[in-house]
Every structure is written in structure tokens, then in C-alpha cells.
Amino acid sequence: MGIVEKKILLRAESLHKEYPMGKDQRLHVIKGLDMEVREGEMAVIVGPSGSGKSTLLHLLGGLDRPSSGKVVVDNLDLSVLSEEELAGFRNQTLGFIFQFHHLLPEFTALENVAMPALIRGEKFPEAQHRATTLLQEVGLEERTDHKPSELSGGEQQRVAVARALMNDPRLVLADEPSGNLDEENSQRLHQLLADLAQKRGLTFVIATHNLDLTKRAHRVLQLIDGRLVTGLRSLS
Ligand SMILES: Nc1ncnc2c1ncn2[C@@H]1O[C@H](COP(=O)(O)OP(=O)(O)O)[C@@H](O)[C@H]1O
Ligand SMILES: [Mg+2]
């Protein structure tokens, strides 16, 4: 209707994931799942604990390989990549945010945020400059020299968001990013993610139980019996 359809950034096709479970037993978690996420979209995945949300995010982000089926991100079929190429893809194309911040305890907020760029080979002064700007963007300009243990849970998660953005990813995957935060900090984090999606045209796939976050999403997908069912579009 006059609006140009955004391109598909992420596509999963006939995705299956089975985990071996002792002798001759398998746990079939993802069962022929298809999905598409367009550029700039914030897609949220909901489903009960144990339904396979983390498993799915790991497959989408190339942290684990599917038993069959494929994942295509930005026209790149992950199944053809070697482990080394996958690591490069994760570093350069993706941002990850986890339920527990996974920051390195012995490094400052600034160093944690700069890390993905340093791994990629960026020089320290340049990485430091960009990390400082990102910490400002998430409202932590006064916490740059603090270690994770000297930050609140909400602040730790915002550092993790800044780190996820450091290499200017096309796609950010988040696994219950507010699962460990109180309501006030959760809402602040969700507002930040929504602002980033809008300002930077970032694409998000987020697993969550949180209703405030599902209300902000463009699309809510329910993981039921190993496949995704489109939920109600949010009203906001
Ligand atoms: N590495 C693994 N090996 C074996 N089973 C696993 C592994 N990871 C997850 N599972 C199982 O797969 C199912 C889905 O888990 P998960 O993806 O963590 O679900 P969710 O994130 O929705 O809670 C659960 O039954 C879980 O025990
Ligand atoms: Mg999980």
C-alpha cells in the first residue's frame, strides 16, 4: 500500500533440532520451524519454559547447528560456513544479549563494550572512543570505569546492550534480556531496545516472558510444539 516492503533479513526453513538423550533416545525440540524477520522489525518469541526458545536463538545466531533445515541471515546460508567463518559472522553481523549479562568480571564497563571491536582487530583508542559513545547512548556515561560487580542489574544489562551494538550488527538476538530485572529496570531496558530499533533501524529477535516487551514488538511469535505460530499483533 505505497510502502516498500522491507527486505527479509533472517529466514529459517524447515528447521529441526534434536538433542541426544542417552542410549538411542532423542529430544526433538524444534520440529520443522519456518520463520522470516524483516529488516527493522522487532520480533518477540514467547512460549513456556522448556519450549525451545533458547535453542531456537542459538540456531538463529549460529551458536549451535540444526539437525536439519537452514538459517539464512542477510543472504548468508549459515549451514555452509565453517566454525571459523561462523565465529566471524557472529562477531561482525550479530549482537547477543543474554538473561545474565555475561560481562567479563575483571574488566570495566568500557572495556567490556570495546571487547568485540578489539577482537575484530580495531585499535584501542578508536574502540575506546566508540565504546564511550555507546555507553552514553545507553545512559551510562558516568559508569564507564566501573566493573560489573559495581553496577546494578539494570546497569549491567545496559552495558550488555552497548556491547551487543559495538560492531554495528545487522541483527540482535536477545534471550530473556529482562528475565533477571525488576519491573522498573525491565521497562527502562525495553524502552532502550525499542528506541534503538527505531533510531538505528536495528532488527531484533527477542525471547521473553515479559508482557511489557511483547506490547512493544512489531510481531509476537508463539513457540508451540516446536513451531512458531503468529500471535496477535500488538495494539500499540
Ligand atoms: N544442550 C542440550 N542438551 C540436551 N537437551 C537440551 C539442551 N539444551 C536444551 N535442552 C532441552 O531442550 C528443551 C528446550 O530447552 P530451551 O531451548 O532451553 O527452552 P526455553 O529457552 O524455551 O526454556 C528443554 O527440554 C531442555 O531441557
Ligand atoms: Mg531459555
Tell me the β-bridge partners of 77: 72
Q: Does residue 223 register a pLDDT over 80?
A: yes
C-alpha cell belonging to residue 166: 559495538
Residue 14 region, left (φ>0) first, then alpha (ψ -120 to 50), else beta?
Answer: left
The whole-angstrom distance between residue 164's C-alpha and the CA centroid of its chain comes to 8
Q: Does residue 27 register a pLDDT over 80?
A: yes
pLDDT in tens, 122-155: 999 999 999 999 999 999 999 999 999 999 999 9
pLDDT in tens, 184-216: 999 999 999 999 989 999 999 999 989 999 999
- Report pTM: 0.93
> Residue with the nearest Cα to atom 4 of ligand 1?
19
Ligand 1 pocket mutation pick from 15, 29, 221 by most atoms within 8 angstroms of CB: 29
> Residue with the nearest Cα to atom 24 of ligand 1?
50
Nearest atom in ligand 1 to the alpha carbon of residue 21 is 4
Residue 231's pLDDT band (cuts 50, 70, 90) = low
Rounded-to-integer distance, Cα 175 and Cα 45, Å = 9
Q: Which residue ranges have their beta carbon within 6 Å of ligand 1?
A: 19, 27, 29, 47, 49-55
For the chain, list the domains and their CATH numbers.
8-104+155-230 (3.40.50.300)
Instruction: Indicate the DSSP class of residue 236.
Output: -
Rounded-to-integer distance, Cα 102 and Cα 108, Å = 13
